[in-house]
Every structure is written in structure tokens, then in C-alpha cells.
């Protein structure tokens, strides 16, 4: 037709745009693929790239092709079964239905084959893509390792439930889904072709069509037999009983019911296949009806009757064996079966002499008076130096500094390009110039200057120190905030650090990054990052290196996507270099009989320790739990990815910490699963809680805290993570848990339990006593009213000898500037509470000894909240004492006494007024 070319020209621009978009999208995907390959190759783990890719592709291809072949094969078979001659039915309505179907058939007939092929292909693509994402399930099943623990119900190794059962469940669900979709689609094709005519009683189904559908339905019934078989093993995850796992009803009612249903489903499958040789659907209808009745009566009603009339009246006796299984499995799955329980007297006999004993000096010397969340504000004010630097997190570690082992706070000074000024946020600055952070800050946990601010062991830019803790390579190219890509070793110098009125520059000389190379590689990176500037910039040379995937979490997840990472990476100074540490967990939600956490997992191990060099990005994953079967399976899948723990240098091993996320999970489980007697467990009569859990503030409970201390009856001090316990719904303490982090006994957990016949105050009770103390409360009120606010640090629960001492730092912060100053230290022991300017003074006040010890004094605050190191003059001290007495009299209702003290206070203030108006000798000249 003459108009056809013109009509096509109208659509030409749209077609060109669509083609360009498709080419660009495809090119970007290819660029990402190739540059990812370069990245893995640069790290020396190209095998991880190909293993992950081929596993996903093979799983997707197998399941996608199998779905396509089965669906499309049945649809093609249905088309071949279409009747050549259609017999017109009798009756007006039936004739109208036949005509309507015939008209629809006539309209679709030219396109039916193409529609069936395209629909099958699209569905197969979706199914294959979904199955490809489940590749870890299949690889774990193929590389399953034995746990060496036998399931108490079915006598199988736990590895069957953790590795094989998830893959079998996926296969069963996939088969049922494929058969259901194919059966419905096949029936629709038969209906369209006229082989099924439900309005025709005489010839509703062609014989061959009935046979086709009978086979498909029979396969569904047979697959359901397999499904019931899997459900018998999945009773180990049943929530029916008091705890997770097969309960009395599951074992003695549900399990027999499932076996009966297997037989019924198998008979239904046979009936459907046999029905091919019989007319009508009577036989399969009867079989399916019997199946439905059995599913209701045997599968649901019978277990409910057993539960109601056999178990509920005798629940303790009936469920006790199954509760015992749950207790043992849960403790084993969360690595709590090796917890050592020790008695702790929690006595109130501690003396001043005990505090000075050598075995307690390490504990008191390393009391953490700086809360990490609070000291971070001071770090930002004092040590960020420039607005584009950032301290993302403050971590706790221990070092041997000048021969003395000390607990310290440490934070890396990272560069955050998002904090550059708007004018400076150019592509060149963000990707070529501002490429790295610089140095770290270290301060002792117990030290404060005269004005209450942190004292630094390592500080400033470049890093300076008066100790042997030195940083020789301070540049930070990899960290928590390095989320953008940078191109290093260009002809443009990189900003290194500020130097007075000028800046110091450098050119990257590390080994990290992918070489830019020639034009083709530059084009690939330009496509990957969507920036033509990479292709056009004259600063970029062939030997320049592209550093991407620089954030710690992204870096590790690319290498080991099967690991669950701890939320708190931490940094350490090792042999002069800044090193990042991450903890990786292997987990499962299929450990039989184990009670899951709120996150759904019911098995966890801290099997992998990861280090990342902040300068050159060297990433090493250490296999730290050789007994973990899940880790063993992954090592089979990715050989060469993980290094043995024995290859970790001692200098690195010295900075390992017991991870806080794991400890939280274990403490949360242990507060219930320390009860090992089924009857006690059933009654929950000895259930514990974390202090503050479920409270009005946030309900999350007290945070675990790191301490460097000597445990009771242990030979040396150790770096520990610990948390106290209270009875459920009570505030008194009942015990505490500690996990060791030093190399000699890393991971060993100890629980100390208190005598139950005596009350030991818990953290919340101690906090209440502090707030109600007649001496402390007025001072807090005054400080909060004078342009400043009082901040409480973490309340530390410290075992000293056979007693518990509570220590809490107190800070003052001005309203205008977020720079908290350590102002007071609160010590509580037995029925005594004291708040003094430093820890030695507070301990002396409580235990009756002269103040002494290594802790530097925080500043003495004035009434306005400013710190001053000198003692109060006599008149000021008298005014303070009179004010306190007046408040005490007011609380006691002694108004006469209150009036007398206020009168005396007025006289003292009158005496002070003239003194405040006089100028001290020499003060004017000093003011100038």
C-alpha cells in the first residue's frame, strides 16, 4: 500500500530510541559483568565469581527448561488432541455456548501456537530466574556435611534436616506448582479446541482428553504423596506444643495421620490412572472424596481430639520428653551446651584493702568511664579537624601500651565526600582528589583531662603519640563510609591531609584497585558508573586504578553472600597499619527441635573472622570454627576462599573480640534455656530477663559491655563481654554471663549465679537509688537548670572479688555545644552510694579509704556546670551544705528546720557578695 512506508516513518524515532535504550541497558549489563570479573580477579578470588554465576545460571536453566518442556509439551499435545469434527449439541443454550466458543476459536486460531510458545517461554523465564536465586539451597544439599548429632524422632543426622530437607521441599513445591499450572493451562486449551464441552452431558470429555487430564491429576496426587512424606520430617518444626518441635500430638496423632494420607493419596493417584480405561469420572471422584474426608477427619480432627482430651489435661507429663528434646537441641544449636556455670556469692564484705589487692587492680584500672556513644561527640568536636572528616563509630579494644595492658576507645577518621561544601562537590573532587580518610584516634577508657574531656593516646593529623602505639600507614581507602568509587594514581595529586594553611598531597602507591588500562576498559567503567567523564578525563592514565566496592559490608558480601555479618565492624592498629575487623555468622532455620529467635534463625555460629586492610583493601576470611558443618559445606563450594585460622598472625589475633550481636542472641536464648529440667521449664518458674527489658524507655534491655578484668578465681585479667541477668518481671540481679575474647580461651562462656535466698540489687534498682539520693539529686537538679544537661553513661556491673560494685560515669554537656565533659563518677555498693569527682574518690567514699589510684580526675563543676579543678572555698562549701540540709528538712516536712537553714544560707551568701565584687591581685593584668 502506498501509505504504508509513511506510517512506518512515524514510528521510526520511537523505534530508534527504544533500540538505543536497549543497547545502552545491554551495554551497561555487560560492563558491570566484565568489571566485576576484574574486581574478583584483583582480589585473587575469580573462582568465587564463576562459582556463584554458574550455580545461579545452572539452577535457573535446569528448572526453567524443565518447566518449559513440561508445560509446552502438554499444551502441544492438547492441540494435537483437538477433535477434527465437532458434533453440535441439542438445546438452545448449549448451541449458543458452542457457537461462542467456536467464534473465539476462529479469532485466536492463527495466533494460538505463538501465544502458547510465548506464554510458556515467559513463565519458564520467571520460574528459572526465581529458582536461580535459590542456588545456595541446592549447592548446600550437594555438599552436605554431617553434624554428628542424631535427630531423636527419626534417627537421621541433623545434616539431613539442615541441608537436604530444604532442597527436597523446594523440589516438592516446584513440582506441585508446575503440575497445577500445566493442568489448568491444558484444560483451557482442550476447552478452546472443543475437546471439553461441560454443557454437553453426552460428550463432555473426549476419551483421549480424559486420559490426558487423568494422567496430570494422577501426577499431582503422586507428588502429594512425596509432599506428605516431607511433612512427616517437618513435624520437627511443629509449633503445636509448648515449644518448637514434634510434640506428643504430633508424634502420636499427626505422624500416623500423615502416613495414612500418604496411602490415601497413592490410592487416589492409582484410581486416576486406572480411570483412563473406564468411562466417566466416578472412580476418581470417589477416590478424591475419600482423600478429602481423610484429610479432614484423620489429618485435622483426630489430632485436635488427642490434643484436647489426652494432652491438655496431662500436659506436663505428656510434653516433658519433647520439652527435653527442645532444650537440648536449642542449647546445642546456639552453642550454649558448653557454658560453664559457677556460683557467685555476691557478698557485701568487700573492703578498701580488697580494692588495693593486685588481683583487683587491673579491673579498677580499666573501668570504662567513657561511654562510646557519648565520647563520639567529643571526638567529633576535638579531632575531626575538618568538616569532611567523620568518626562513624567508636569501638572498644585492648592494647599493650608501653608494657601495660590497657582498655581503650578507638575510632578511624574517615572521609565523607557527602560533607564537602556544595561548591566542592565536583566529579573531580569526589572521585579523583578526596579519595581517603586519615588516621585514627585512641583514648583510654578511664582517662579525662582537668576539664573533663578525653585524654588521647593517639591524636591529630598526622597521627601523633607519646606511646609505642604508632600508625605508620594512616591513609584509609576502605572503611564503613567509603561508599563511592575513586580513581587513584592519576596525574592529579590526591588530597592527603590538611597542613596549616595548605594541604598535603599524595599519589596512591598501594596495590588495590583495577587498572584502567586502555580505551576499552575506560569505556566499560564509564558505562558501569554512568559517567562519560571517566572516558573523557585527561587526568586518568593507563596505570590509574579504579577502587570500587570499598565499603566493608559490600566488599565482604560480594565474596561471601552466604554470611550474615555482625552490625558493628571495628578497627584496630596492627603493626602500624589500620585494620578493620568483621564477624561473619553461618546460620540456619532448619535445625530440628531448636527454638528460633525473633529473626527466625535457630542455629548460629561465629565461624568466620574477616580482616580488611584500610589502605590496600586486602580482605582475608579466616575459617574460625572447624567443627561447624555449615561452614564445612561452604568451604566445599568455594575452595580457597577461606584461610585457616592457624594462619592468622598473632598480632591480628590479639584484637579479636567476641561479637556483640552473637552475644545478644545467646544471652536472649540463655535467659530461658538455662532451665534444663522440663517441669521447671514448663512452669517458667526460673525464667530470667535482661535488666531494663520491657521497660518504659525502649524495652530492649541493657547493652552488653566489654571489660578488661580478672574473673573470680582466674589467674590473669581477660578481655570479656558481659551482661547481667534479673529474674523475669523483677529488678534484682540473679546472675551474669561473660564471654572470653582473648586468644587463649576465645569463645569460652561462663555464667555466674547468685544465691536465690538473698536479694542482690539490680541495675534499675541502683539507678533509682542514685536518683533518690538526698545528696546527689539536688546537684543533678542544679546542673540541669544552668544552661547544661546531665548525661548518664552506661551503668557498669563489675564483679570484684566475691562482690558486685556498680560504677556509672556522669557527664555535663552545654546546650550550645555537644561536647560532654566527664564530671562525676557514681559508685554504689551494698547500701552505699557516692558521687565524687573521680573514681578513686568515689571508691574511697564508699569503702572508707583515702583516694588513690591511676584514674585521672575529672573537673570539679561550678554551679553553672563548668569544670574547675580546685576544691571549694570554705564559705562556698558551707553554702552548699546548708542548701542540702534545707532540702532534707523540706522532704522531711520539718519546716522550722527548713526556715532556719535558709536563714543561715542567706547570711553566708551576704558574706560572699562583697568578695565577688573585689578583684584579686593580678587578675586584671592576667585578663589582658
Helix (H) or strand (E) holding 307: none
Phi-psi region of 489 (alpha: psi -120 to 50; beta: other; left: phi over 0): left
Q: Is the pLDDT of residue 864 over 50?
A: no
Within 8 A by CB and 6+ apart from 286, the residues are 271
Q: Could you tell me if 365 and 446 are in contact, meaning their C-beta atoms sit under 8 angstroms apart? A: yes
Q: Could you tell me if 457 and 470 are in contact, meaning their C-beta atoms sit under 8 angstroms apart? A: no
pLDDT at 858: 38
Region 872-880: mean pLDDT is 65
Q: Could you tell me if 573 and 543 are in contact, meaning their C-beta atoms sit under 8 angstroms apart? A: no
From CA 360, how far away is CA 354, in angstroms rounded? Answer: 7
39 or 716, which is more confident:
39
Within 8 A by CB and 6+ apart from 482, the residues are 414, 415, 436, 437, 476, 550, 551
pLDDT at 857: 37
Q: Is the pLDDT of residue 183 over 90?
A: yes
From CA 652, how far away is CA 177, in angstroms rounded? Answer: 51
pLDDT-based confidence at residue 832 (cuts at 50, 70, 90): very high
CB atoms near residue 376 (< 10 Å): 19
Is the bond preceding 435 in cis, omega lying within 30 degrees of 0? no
pLDDT-based confidence at residue 922 (cuts at 50, 70, 90): very low
From CA 191, how far away is CA 109, in angstroms rounded? Answer: 13
Q: How does pLDDT run across 408-430, given as a tens digit for each residue?
A: 999 999 999 999 999 999 999 99
Of the listed ranges 205-219, 572-586, 900-914, the least confidently predicted one is: 900-914
Q: Measuring CA to CA, which residue among 726, 745, 746, 724 is closest to residue 736?
A: 724
Region 402-406: mean pLDDT is 90
Report how far apart, in Å, the C-alpha atoms of 858 and of each of 54, 368, 814, 820, 822 are.
61, 14, 16, 12, 6
Give the angle 12-13-18 at the CA atoms, nearest 5°. Answer: 95
Helix (H) or strand (E) holding 152: none
Q: Is the pLDDT of residue 790 over 50?
A: yes
**Cα 313 from chain centre:** 42
Q: Is the pLDDT of residue 583 over 90?
A: yes
pLDDT at 6: 58
Phi-psi region of 787 (alpha: psi -120 to 50; beta: other; left: phi over 0): left
889 or 292, which is more confident:
292
Q: Is the pLDDT of residue 642 over 90?
A: yes
Region 535-554: mean pLDDT is 95
Within 8 A by CB and 6+ apart from 225, the residues are 262, 265, 266, 269
From CA 247, how far away is CA 239, in angstroms rounded? Answer: 8
Report how far apart, in Å, the C-alpha atoms of 803 and of each of 345, 749, 752, 826 are.
7, 20, 12, 17
Percent of the chain at pLDDT > 70 equals 85
201-206's contacts with Cβ under 8 Å and 24+ in sequence apart are 202/89, 203/87, 203/89, 206/81, 206/83
Q: Could you tell me if 306 and 669 are in contact, meaning their C-beta atoms sit under 8 angstroms apart? A: no
Q: Is the pLDDT of residue 886 over 50?
A: yes
Report how far apart, in Å, the C-alpha atoms of 203 and of each of 87, 199, 689 are.
9, 9, 71
Averaged confidence pLDDT in the chain: 87
Q: How does pLDDT run across 704-741, given as a tens digit for each residue?
A: 999 999 998 888 899 999 999 999 989 999 999 999 99
pLDDT at 312: 94
Q: How does pLDDT run across 348-391, given as a tens digit for each residue?
A: 999 988 888 888 888 888 999 999 999 999 999 999 989 999 99
pTM reported for the whole predicted model: 0.85
From CA 689, how far away is CA 764, in angstroms rounded? Answer: 12
From CA 773, how far away is CA 887, in angstroms rounded? Answer: 12
Amino acid at each position: 500500500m502506498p501509505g504504508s512506508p509513511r506510517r512506518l516513518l512515524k514510528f521510526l524515532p520511537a523505534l530508534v530510541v527504544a533500540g538505543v535504550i536497549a543497547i545502552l541497558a545491554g551495554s551497561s549489563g555487560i560492563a558491570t559483568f566484565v568489571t566485576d570479573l576484574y574486581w574478583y580477579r584483583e582480589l585473587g578470588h575469580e573462582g568465587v565469581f564463576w562459582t556463584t554465576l554458574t550455580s545461579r545460571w545452572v539452577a535457573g536453566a535446569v528448572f526453567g527448561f524443565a518447566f518449559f518442556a513440561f508445560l509446552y509439551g502438554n499444551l502441544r499435545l492438547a492441540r494435537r488432541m483437538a477433535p477434527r469434527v465437532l458434533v453440535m449439541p441439542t438445546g438452545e443454550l448449549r448451541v449458543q455456548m458452542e457457537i461462542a466458543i467456536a467464534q473465539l476459536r476462529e479469532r485466536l486460531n492463527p495466533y494460538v501456537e505463538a501465544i502458547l510458545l510465548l506464554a510458556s517461554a515467559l513463565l519458564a523465564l520467571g520460574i528459572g530466574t526465581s529458582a536461580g536465586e535459590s542456588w545456595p539451597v541446592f549447592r548446600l544439599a550437594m555438599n552436605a556435611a554431617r553434624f554428628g548429632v542424631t535427630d531423636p524422632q527419626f534417627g537421621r543426622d541433623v545434616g539431613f534436616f539442615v541441608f537436604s530437607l530444604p532442597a527436597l521441599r523446594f523440589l516438592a513445591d516446584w513440582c506441585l506448582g508446575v503440575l497445577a499450572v500445566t493442568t489448568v493451562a491444558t484444560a483451557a486449551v482442550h476447552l478452546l479446541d472443543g475437546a471439553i464441552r461441560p454443557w454437553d452431558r453426552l460428550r463432555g470429555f473426549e476419551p483421549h482428553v480424559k486420559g490426558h487430564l487423568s494422567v496430570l491429576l494422577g501426577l499431582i496426587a503422586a507428588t502429594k504423596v512425596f509432599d506428605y512424606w516431607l511433612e512427616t520430617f517437618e513435624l520437627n518444626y511443629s509449633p503445636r506444643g509448648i515449644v518448637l518441635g514434634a510434640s506428643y500430638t504430633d508424634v502420636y496423632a499427626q505422624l500416623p495421620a500423615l502416613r495414612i494420607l500418604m496411602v490415601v493419596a497413592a490410592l487416589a493417584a492409582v484410581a486416576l490412572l486406572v480411570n483412563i480405561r473406564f468411562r466417566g469420572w466416578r472412580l476418581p471422584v470417589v477416590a478424591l472424596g475419600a482423600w478429602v474426608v481423610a484429610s479432614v477427619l484423620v489429618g485435622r480432627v483426630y489430632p485436635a481430639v488427642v490434643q484436647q482430651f489426652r494432652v491438655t489435661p496431662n500436659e506436663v507429663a505428656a510434653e516433658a520428653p519433647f520439652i527435653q528434646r527442645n532444650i537440648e537441641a536449642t542449647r546445642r544449636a546456639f552453642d550454649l551446651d558448653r557454658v560453664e556455670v559457677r556460683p557467685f556469692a555476691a557478698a557485701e564484705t568487700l573492703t578498701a584493702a580488697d580494692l588495693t589487692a593486685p588481683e583487683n587492680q587491673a579491673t579498677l584500672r580499666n573501668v570504662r568511664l567513657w561511654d562510646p556513644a557519648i565520647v563520639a561527640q567529643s571526638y567529633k568536636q576535638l579531632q575531626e579537624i575538618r568538616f569532611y572528616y567523620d568518626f562513624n563509630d567508636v569501638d572498644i579494644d585492648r592494647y599493650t601500651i608501653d608494657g601495660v595492658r590497657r582498655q581503650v576507645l578507638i575510632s578511624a577518621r574517615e572521609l565523607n565526600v557527602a560533607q564537602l561544601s556544595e561548591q566542592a562537590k565536583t566529579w573531580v573532587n569526589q572521585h579523583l582528589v578526596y579519595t581517603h580518610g586519615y588516621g585514627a584516634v585512641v583514648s583510654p577508657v578511664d582517662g579525662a583531662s582537668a576539664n573533663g574531656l578525653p585524654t588521647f593516646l593517639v591524636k591529630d593529623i598526622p597521627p601523633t603519640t607519646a606511646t609505642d602505639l604508632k600508625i605508620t600507614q594512616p591513609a584509609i581507602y576502605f572503611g564503613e563510609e567509603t561508599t563511592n568509587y575513586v580513581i587513584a594514581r592519576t596525574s592529579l595529586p590526591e588530597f592527603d591531609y590538611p597542613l596549616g594553611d595548605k594541604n598535603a598531597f599524595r599519589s596512591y602507591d598501594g596495590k588495590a584497585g583495577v587498572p584502567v588500562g586502555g580505551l576499552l576498559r575506560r569505556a566499560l567503567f564509564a558505562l558501569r558508573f554512568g559517567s562519560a567523564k571517566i572516558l573523557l578525563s585527561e587526568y586518568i592514565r593507563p596505570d590509574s586504578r579504579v577502587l570500587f566496592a570499598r565499603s566493608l559490608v559490600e566488599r565482604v558480601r560480594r565474596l561471601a553472600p552466604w554470611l550474615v555479618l555482625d552490625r558493628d565492624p571495628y578497627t584496630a592498629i596492627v603493626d602500624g597499619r589500620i585494620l578493620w575487623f568483621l564477624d561473619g555468622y553461618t546460620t540456619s532455620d532448619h535445625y530440628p527441635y531448636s527454638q528460633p529467635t525473633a529473626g527466625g534463625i535457630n542455629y548460629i555460629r561465629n565461624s568466620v573472622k574477616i580482616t580488611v586492610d584500610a589502605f590496600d583493601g586486602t580482605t582475608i576470611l579466616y575459617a574460625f570454627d572447624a567443627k561447624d558443618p555449615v561452614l564445612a559445606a561452604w568451604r566445599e563450594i568455594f575452595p580457597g576462599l577461606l584461610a585457616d585460622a592457624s594462619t592468622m598472625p598473632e598480632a591480628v589475633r590479639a584484637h579479636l573480640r567476641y561479637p556483640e550481636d552473637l552475644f545478644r542472641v545467646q544471652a536472649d536464648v540463655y535467659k530461658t534455656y538455662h532451665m534444663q529440667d522440663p517441669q521447671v521449664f514448663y512452669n517458667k518458674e526460673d525464667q530470667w530477663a535482661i535488666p531494663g527489658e520491657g521497660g518504659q524507655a525502649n524495652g530492649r534491655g541493657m547493652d552488653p559491655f566489654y571489660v578488661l578484668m580478672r574473673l573470680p578465681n582466674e589467674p590473669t585479667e581477660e578481655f570479656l563481654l558481659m551482661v547481667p541477668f534479673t529474674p523475669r518481671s523483677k529488678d534484682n540481679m540473679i546472675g551474669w554471663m561473660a564471654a572470653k575474647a582473648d586468644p587463649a580461651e576465645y569463645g569460652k562462656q561462663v555464667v555466674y549465679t547468685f544465691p536465690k535466698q538473698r536479694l542482690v540489687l539490680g541495675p534499675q534498682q541502683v539507678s533509682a537509688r542514685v536518683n533518690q539520693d538526698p545528696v546527689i539529686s539536688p546537684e543533678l537538679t542544679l546542673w540541669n537548670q544552668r544552661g547544661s544537661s546531665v548525661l548518664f553513661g552506661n551503668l557498669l556491673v563489675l564483679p570484684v572479688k566475691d562482690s558486685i560494685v556498680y560504677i556509672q560515669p556522669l557527664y555535663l554537656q552545654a546546650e550550645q555545644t555537644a561536647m560532654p565533659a566527664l564530671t562525676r563518677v557514681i559508685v554504689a555498693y551494698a547500701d552505699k552510694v557516692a558521687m565524687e569527682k573521680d573514681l578513686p574518690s568515689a571508691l574511697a567514699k564508699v569503702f572508707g579509704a583515702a583516694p588513690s589510684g591511676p584514674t585521672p580526675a575529672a573537673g570539679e563543676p561550678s554551679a553553672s556546670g563548668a569544670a574547675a579543678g580546685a576544691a571549694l572555698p570554705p564559705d562556698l562549701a558551707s553554702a552548699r551544705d546548708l542548701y542540702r540540709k534545707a532540702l532534707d528538712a523540706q522532704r522531711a516536712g520539718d519546716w522550722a528546720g527548713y526556715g532556719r537553714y535558709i536563714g543561715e544560707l542567706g547570711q553566708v551568701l551576704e558574706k560572699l557578695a562583697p568578695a565577688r565584687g573585689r578583684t584579686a591581685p593580678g587578675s586584671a593584668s592576667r585578663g589582658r
